[in-house]
Structure 1
Amino acid sequence: MLRSLAHVMIIWNRPYPDIVAATDGRRIWIDPKLTSVERKCFLAHESIHIQRGHTGCQPPAIERQVCLEVARFLVSFEALQDVAGWSRCPIEMAEELGVTEQVLLDRLATLDGDQIQALWPPGDHIA
C-alpha cells in the first residue's frame, strides 16, 4: 500500500504524547518504539487516510470507517476462517494473523451473520 504512495515521507517520531501515528496527507509520523505488527497496522491506517485525501484529525465516524477498512485489507476472510478453526482466543488469533488485537476485533465487527456462522457453526466446539 505504501509503495503506491511514493510521495509520502515516513517520519520515525511519535507525533503526540497520546497518539502513536498521524498524517497530514504528505507525511506519516509513527512511534519507532512500536512492534513490527503495530507498525504494519498503523502504517496501513495512515495510508488509507492519505488515499482518502484526509489531511488531519478526522471525526470519530471517519476514524471508525478507516479502522474497518484497514481490518478488511489486512485480514482476509479466508485467513480468519483458517485461524477460527482452531482458536477462539483473540490474542492468539491476532498473533497468528499478524495484526493487533484491535485490528482483529475490527475485522470481526465487519462480518455479517452468515460469515459468523461460517467461522463458528452452531455446535462446533474446540476441545
Structure 2
Amino acid sequence: MRGWTDGTVILIDDRLTQAQRRVTVCHETLHIERGIIPADALEECRVERLVAERLITTEQLIDALRWQRHPSIAGLADLLWVDRVTVERRLESLTPAEQAQIDAAIRDVA
C-alpha cells in the first residue's frame, strides 16, 4: 500500500519515489474530495482514472510524446513525473476529441 487516508490525514510510504509520492498524494486527496472512504474496487478504478486526468493534461501528454522518438509507457511516465499505471490509465481514458487532438499534434511534427 502506497498511501492511506482516514478522510483527514494522508499517510504515505516513505520509500516511494518522487513520482510515486505525487501520484499517491493526488490519489488520496481525491478519496477525501469524493468522500468515499473506504473505497471499493470500482471506486479505486474511478480514482485512478481521475488521478491520471488531473496529473496529465492533454497538452502535457502531447509534449511528452513529441520528446520521445519511440514512446514507451516508462519513458512517458518519467517525462510526466508519474508512475506507469497513471500513464496507462490516462491513455485508456482519452476521449475521442483528446485522441484527435493528439493525433493532429503528432502528425504535425512528423
TM-score, normalised on structure 2? Answer: 0.84
Deviations 1:5-47 (A, max 9, x none): xxxxxxxxxxxxxx12111112212100101111110010000
How large is the RMSD of aligned CA atoms in angstroms?
2.0
In the alignment, which of 73, 89, 97 is matched to residue 90 of structure 1? 73
For 1:32-71, list aligned pairs within 5 A: 32-56=14-38, 58-71=39-52
For the pair 1:111 / 2:90, whether they are aligned, the reply is: no
SS in structure 1 opposite 2:35? coil
Give the letter for the 2:77 counterpart: A
Bigger radius of gyration: 1
Percent identity for Structure 1 against Structure 2: 30
* Residues 94 and 104, structure 1, Cα contact 8 Å, conserved in 2: yes
For the pair 1:21 / 2:3, whether they are aligned, the reply is: yes
SS in structure 1 opposite 2:15? coil
- 2-side partners of 1:89 and 1:22: how far apart? 30
Deviations 1:44-72 (A, max 9, x none): 0000000111222x121111111111111
TM-score, normalised on structure 1? Answer: 0.74
- 2-side partners of 1:116 and 1:96: how far apart? 19
SS in structure 1 opposite 2:4? strand
Which structure: greater helix fraction? 2
Bigger shift: 62-71 or 86-95? 86-95
- How many residues are aligned here? 106
In structure 1, what is the equivalent of residue 56 of structure 2?
A: 75
- 2-side partners of 1:83 and 1:22: how far apart? 30
Unaligned residue ranges in structure 2 (runs of 5+): none
